[in-house]
């Protein structure tokens, strides 16, 4: 696509020069100027073609560009600090930082790959009104994994990294793993827990689908994790 753009740009330059040389009032010196411009255009065109940025380089540049998201009074910044799959594989170093009033109040690191996506889950009354969000990295595809890291922000600006949950599909289409999350309604019909259900599906139906339930219970600005079963680990 970029080479096509360069070619179109080059020929537009040449056509402009050709049209200008057709005027009868051009002096000899002006012709020399146009000739030099044509030579410069050819040289620029050749340079662009020889040094055009590859798609991989552009993607890496995009991945290394810091991203920003806003959650009310909070500014969330995240990105990769380095990206080279030949060197790091699927564990490229990345960061997440949260600011309030231009002051950093939380930081975290991760090892990931592919695009980063951010999801604002909104506020939920889980033993106090808390704000939840997710940072995703990776790609859910054939034998590739996408990881989702959950965070919550308490009204007193305490920020917690809750846990990582992931999804993937096998290259042969035999099985896939995914998760769903929801907030439960206990205590006077107010949700007090974040519940994540991780599932493993067998598409040939030659094995029974299995799942695990993980419960995040909040008490003030603290939380505890209770895994009700461990079926998926046993199946690995």
User: Coil, helix or strand for 35?
Assistant: helix
Task: Tell me if residue 97 falls in helix, strand or coil.
Answer: strand
**What pLDDT band is residue 45 in, cutting at 50, 70 and 90?**
low
Q: What is the pLDDT of residue 41?
A: 60
- Asked whether the beta carbons of 79 and 66 are under 8 A apart, the reply is yes
Reference 67, options 163, 157, 137; nearest CA is 137
Instruction: Kindly report whether the global pTM for this prediction surpasses the value 0.85.
Output: no
- Nearest residue to 131 via CA among 146, 153, 112: 153
Distance CA 44, CA 14 (A): 12
pLDDT band at 107 (very low <50, low <70, confident <90, very high): very high
Q: Is the pLDDT of residue 94 over 50?
A: yes
d(CA 182, CA 161): 17
**Token pair for residue 200?**
């493993």
Smallest CA-to-CA distance from 163 within 141, 135, 191, 186 is with 135
pLDDT in tens, 3-32: 444 444 444 444 444 444 444 444 445 445
Provide the 3-class DSSP secondary structure of residue 40: helix
For the purposes of burial, counting CB atoms within 10 Å of the CB of 27, is it exposed (0-12), middle (13-18) or buried (19 or more)?
Answer: exposed
Angstrom distances, CA of residue 40 to CA of 11, 22, 49, 172: 13, 20, 14, 54
Number of Cβ within a 10 Å radius of residue 131: 19
Taking the chain, what is the end-to-end CA distance rounded to the nearest angstrom? 44
pLDDT digit string, tens, across residues 186-214 = 666 666 799 999 999 888 788 898 999 99
The yes-or-no verdict on residue 144 having pLDDT over 80 is: yes
The beta strand positions in the chain, using DSSP E, are: 67-71, 74-80, 92-100, 103-112, 116-125, 129-141, 144-153, 159-169, 175-186, 190-202, 210-219, 222-227
Task: Count the residues in the chain.
Answer: 236
Residue whose C-alpha is closest to residue 132's, from 175, 163, 172, 174: 163
């Amino acid at each position: 696509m970029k080479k096509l753009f360069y070619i179109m740009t080059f020929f537009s330059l040449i056509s402009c020069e050709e049209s200008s040389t057709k005027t009868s009032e051009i002096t000899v010196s002006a012709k020399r100027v146009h000739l030099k411009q044509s030579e410069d255009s050819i040289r620029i065109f050749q340079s662009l073609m020889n040094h055009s940025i590859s798609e991989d380089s552009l993607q890496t540049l995009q991945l290394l560009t810091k991203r920003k998201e806003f959650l009310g009074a909070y500014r969330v910044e995240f990105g990769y600090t380095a990206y080279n799959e030949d060197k790091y594989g699927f564990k490229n170093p990345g960061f997440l930082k949260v600011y309030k009033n231009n002051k950093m109040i939380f930081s975290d690191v991760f090892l990931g790959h592919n695009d980063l996506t951010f999801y604002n889950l909104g506020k939920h009354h889980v033993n106090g009104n808390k704000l939840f969000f997710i940072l995703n990295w990776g790609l859910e595809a054939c034998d590739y994994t996408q990881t989702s890291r959950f965070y919550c922000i308490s009204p007193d600006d305490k920020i917690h990294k809750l846990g990582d949950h992931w999804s993937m599909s096998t290259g042969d289409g035999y099985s896939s793993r995914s998760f769903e999350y929801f907030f439960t309604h206990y205590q006077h019909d107010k949700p007090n827990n974040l519940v994540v259900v991780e599932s493993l599906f067998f598409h040939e139906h030659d094995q029974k689908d299995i799942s695990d339930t993980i419960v995040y219970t909040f008490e003030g600005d603290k939380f505890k994790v209770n895994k009700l079963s461990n079926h998926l680990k046993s199946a690995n």
